[in-house]
Structure 1
Amino acid sequence: MQMVGSGEKITGEELLKRYTAGERNFPLITLNDEKSVLVGADLSGINLMGAYLHYALWWNVNLSGACLLAAELSGVSMDGADLSDADLTSACLWGTNFTNANLSNCILKGANLRRAILWNANLRGAVLDGAILAYADFTGAKYFTINQHMTGILFWNTTMPDGTVIEGPTYIN
C-alpha cells in the first residue's frame, strides 16, 4: 500500500495550494523547486514525514503541530518559524536556520542539528534526547540549558546561549 503523496515531487506553490484546499498529508514528498519560498504560510498540523525540503526558504511559516518525523530539512531557512508542538524526531536539520523560531514543546529526539543556527530560538519544553548538536549555535536561545532530563546528546563545538562553547566531543548520557 502506497502512502498518499509518497515520493511525489511538487513545487512549494503547489504544496501551499493543496494545503489551502484542505489536504494535510504529504509524506515523503520532494520539493522540486530549489529555494522553495513559503514566507508567512500557515501549514499548521501538516504531515511532512520523511519529506525532502532541502534549502527551502520558509520564513515565519506556521508549522505548529506538524509531523516532520525523519524529514530532510538541511539548509532550510526557518527564521521566525513556529514549530511549537511539532515532531522532528530523527529529522536531518544540518545547517538549518532556526533564528527567532518557536520550538517550544518540539520533539527533536535523535535529530541531527549539526551546524544548525538557533539564535534567539524559544526551546521551552523542547525534547532533545539523542540529538547531535555538533557545531550548533544556540546564541541567545531561550530555555536551553543542560539538565538532568537530557539523555544521549552529543555536544561538539556547540555554542551555548551565553556564548560559551562546549568543545567536546561531550556526550551526555
Structure 2
Amino acid sequence: MPLPEIDFLELNMLSCLGHSPNGLVYEVLDRDRIRRIVKFPGTAWERQLHLEFDGVPGVMPLLARVRHADSPGVMMPRGDTDLHERLRVGDRFPATILVPVARAIDAIHQRGFLHRDVHPGNFIMWEGAWYLIDFGLSRDFSAGFRCDNGSHAVIRFAA
C-alpha cells in the first residue's frame, strides 16, 4: 500500500532535532496530535533507501511521505528512547535487542546494502521493540568494495 503524502506546513513543528549535510530532522505533532519524526534526507539516495527499507523487519517503519517546497521527506514514529540513552543512564545492555538488530542488519545486507553507521544511537525503542534508523551513510555493496589500502580484496560482510 502506498504511503500517504502530507504537506509539512500541515504539521505542528515542535523542534529541530538535528541538521547536517545528511539532512534535517524535526519533531512534530501530526494531525492527530501525536509526536512524530520528520526527516528531510540530505540526498535523494538516502530518501530512496528509506522507501526501499520500509517494511523490512527491524527497520523503523515509515508513516508518510512529507513534502515541503522542493524537499521531499519521510515521517516516522517518535521512538521512546535510543540504546545510547539506555546505556548512558546505567541500564544493562538489553539482550533482547540482539536478535532484532541482527535480523535488521541481515535484511539490509540481503538487499545488497551496507548500513555503515551501526551504533547505539541508531537503535530506537518504539512500542516495546527495537528498530534501526539512519541510512545516510549506507552504500550498495552488491558488487563488493575495494579496501581503502588499494588491495583487491572484496568485503562480503560488514555492518
* TM > 0.5: no
Which structure shows the bigger proportion of residues in strand conformation? Answer: 2
RCO comparison, higher one (Cα < 8 Å, 6+): 2
Which structure shows the bigger proportion of residues in helix conformation? Answer: 2
**Bigger Cα Rg:** 2
Query: TM-score, normalization: structure 2?
Result: 0.28
